[in-house]
């Protein structure tokens, strides 16, 4: 009968190829995201190994109260949010700028070489980045202080100066990630209808006018989608970069300690599973609320750009 609704198993059979392609992703999220959910209960207990998760004494919200009263929660939230806001805003601005500049290059050989050089830092391990930074900045044998001593200056204890480290970390993040992000935007620029660009050239539009009125508006959908994805992880810091750059240096915690490094440190050095679980739960709830609010806001402004 025309228009009759297909049975569920019939739909599964008709779309079995697509469902099989989705199966690895579904299994991944079930195993690593949904199966561990009962462990959230640790955040509300005074956890000990002997009693286990559900046998440990229930303490309610005391772990959260301790974090709030100690000031750690505010510091971790502030650092994590501020770093990620800078990474998102500055990162996208620099990536779009580089993509537009690459698009204006007419020499194809130079363009390909430039793309490759910019993309290479993305494949460099953060462990190596931390090692390079240490060999440049450490007090005793670092290249910077060696140069200062050779020129008659006084060496600088950079690993004791908390105020300068946000700039160092932001620079390293931009250096590593900008090439990859610019390639994404460059691919979006390549997808712009060439007829519009040719028509603009025929009408006498300058390069700046083509960028302003054609390229940048065409990048808007890509920018919004990437922004929403980035907001989904705005409460998740780049643990590898922060840990390898700073390590367990308590002198720098005021400006460099983020949620991931705090959780890792409390679990490995203090064996405090309850506090670290409380921070992790707070991180997840805050991030979820932020994604939902951002998607709602985008949906109100322009429903076509919303994720769902």
CATH number at residue 108: 1.10.3720.10
Average pLDDT over residues 272-296: 84
Measured CA to CA in angstroms, residue 11 lies from 5, 18, 21 at distances of 10, 11, 15
Q: Say yes or no to pLDDT of 24 above 60.
A: yes
Alpha helices in the chain (DSSP H): 8-14, 16-29, 62-70, 72-104, 108-119, 126-137, 143-150, 165-190, 194-202, 207-210, 216-218, 220-232, 239-246, 253-256, 259-268, 273-301
Determine, yes or no, domain membership for 211: yes
Interval 46-70: pLDDT, tens = 888 888 888 889 998 888 888 888 7
Average pLDDT over residues 117-132: 90
Average pLDDT over residues 144-170: 91
Q: Say yes or no to pLDDT of 166 above 90.
A: yes
For residue 225, the model assigns a pLDDT of 82
Determine, yes or no, domain membership for 151: no
Average pLDDT over residues 273-277: 85
pLDDT band at 175 (very low <50, low <70, confident <90, very high): very high
Average pLDDT over residues 231-241: 83
The rounded distance, in Å, linking the Cα atoms of 165 and 143 is 17
Determine, yes or no, domain membership for 194: yes
Quote the tokens at residue 18: 């697509």
The pTM of the full predicted model, rounded to 2 decimals, is 0.82
For residue 301, the model assigns a pLDDT of 78
**How confident is the prediction for the chain on average, in pLDDT?**
86
Would you say 68 and 279 are in contact if contact means Cβ atoms under 8 Å apart? no
The rounded distance, in Å, linking the Cα atoms of 41 and 277 is 8
Which one has a higher pLDDT value, 87 or 11? Answer: 87
Determine, yes or no, domain membership for 44: no
Percent of the chain predicted with pLDDT > 70: 98
The tally of domains found in the chain comes to 1
For residue 4, the model assigns a pLDDT of 61
Determine, yes or no, domain membership for 24: no
Q: Say yes or no to pLDDT of 169 above 90.
A: yes
Determine, yes or no, domain membership for 163: no
Q: Say yes or no to pLDDT of 232 above 80.
A: no
Average pLDDT over residues 220-235: 82
For residue 3, the model assigns a pLDDT of 52
For residue 1, the model assigns a pLDDT of 46
Quote the tokens at residue 26: 């579904």
Would you say 37 and 277 are in contact if contact means Cβ atoms under 8 Å apart? no
Determine, yes or no, domain membership for 222: yes
Read off the DSSP letter of residue 151. T
Domain of 243, in residue numbers: 55-125+170-303
Q: Say yes or no to pLDDT of 114 above 70.
A: yes
Determine, yes or no, domain membership for 146: no
């Amino acid at each position: 009968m025309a228009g009759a609704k297909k049975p569920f198993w019939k739909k599964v059979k008709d779309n079995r190829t697509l469902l099989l392609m989705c199966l690895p992703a579904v299994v991944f999220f079930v195993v690593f995201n949904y199966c561990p959910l009962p462990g959230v209960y640790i955040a509300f207990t005074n956890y000990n190994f002997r009693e286990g998760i559900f046998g440990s004494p229930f303490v309610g919200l005391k772990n959260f109260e301790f974090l709030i009263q100690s000031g750690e929660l505010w510091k971790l939230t502030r650092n994590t949010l501020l770093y990620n806001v800078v990474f998102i805003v500055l990162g996208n601005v620099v990536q779009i700028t580089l993509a537009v500049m690459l698009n204006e290059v007419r020499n194809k050989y130079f363009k390909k070489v430039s793309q490759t050089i910019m993309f290479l830092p993305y494949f460099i391990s953060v462990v190596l980045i931390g090692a390079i930074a240490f060999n440049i900045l450490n007090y005793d044998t670092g290249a910077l202080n060696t140069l200062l001593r050779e020129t008659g200056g006084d060496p600088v204890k950079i690993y004791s100066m908390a105020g300068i480290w946000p700039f160092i970390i932001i620079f390293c993040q931009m250096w590593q990630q900008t090439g990859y992000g610019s390639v994404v935007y460059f691919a979006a620029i390549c997808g712009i209808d060439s007829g519009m660009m040719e028509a603009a050239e025929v009408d006498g539009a300058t390069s700046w006018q083509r960028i302003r009125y054609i390229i940048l508006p065409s990048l808007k959908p890509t920018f919004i989608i990437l922004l929403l994805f980035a907001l989904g992880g705005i409460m998740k810091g780049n643990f590898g970069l922060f840990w390898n750059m700073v390590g367990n240096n308590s002198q720098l915690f005021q400006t460099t300690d983020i949620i991931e490094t705090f959780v890792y440190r409390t679990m490995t050095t203090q064996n405090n599973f309850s506090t670290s679980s409380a921070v992790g739960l707070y991180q997840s709830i805050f991030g979820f609320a932020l994604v939902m609010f951002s998607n709602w806001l985008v949906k109100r402004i322009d429903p076509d750009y919303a994720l769902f």
